[in-house]
Amino acid sequence: KQEVTQIPAALSVPEGENLVLNCSFTDSAIYNLQWFRQDPGKGLTSLLLIQSSQREQTSGRLNASLDKSSGRSTLYIAASQPGDSATYLCAVSSNQGGKLIFGQGTELSVKP
């Protein structure tokens, strides 16, 4: 049974700092991994999608890496801003059109 863990559960940093969020999964047979952002009480916004054959994806100040063999992914946020404050969720799927298994999320607070 696939399990997804995110560390840390919460993180508070000053504005401008670079930071790394971690995601690990127990079954390396994944189809893809996706990082989401969730603002309080809201839905999810897709940030980055990494296919199982890929090692990383970048979008603006965000970079996500995937090491499938070790069951790990990291989300790197450069030059953090107060607007980055949100909960960040990673999720894996085992096949196309399959369900997503989510981690518990990392609640990020960026202080001005």
Residues that bind other proteins (CB under 8 A): 31-32, 34, 36, 41-46, 49, 51, 89, 91, 93, 96-97, 99-100, 102-105
Please tell me what DSSP assigns to residue 82: G
Residue with tokens 């189809």: 31
State the minimum distance, in angstroms, from the CB of residue 3 to other proteins.
11
Closest distance of CB 11 from other proteins, Å: 16
Give the rounded distance of the alpha carbon of 100 from its chain centre.
13
106: Cα separation from own chain's centroid: 8
- 89 vs 108 by CB, closer to other proteins: 89
What is the closest distance, in whole angstroms, from the C-beta atom of residue 20 to other proteins in the complex? 20
- Which single residue is written with the structure tokens 């863990």? 5
Which tokens sit at 54? 């890929």
- Decide whether 29 or 31 has the Cβ nearer to other proteins: 31
Given a contact cutoff of 8 angstroms between Cβ atoms, the answer to whether 49 and 34 are in contact is yes
Output 85 or 88, the one with its CB closest to other proteins: 88
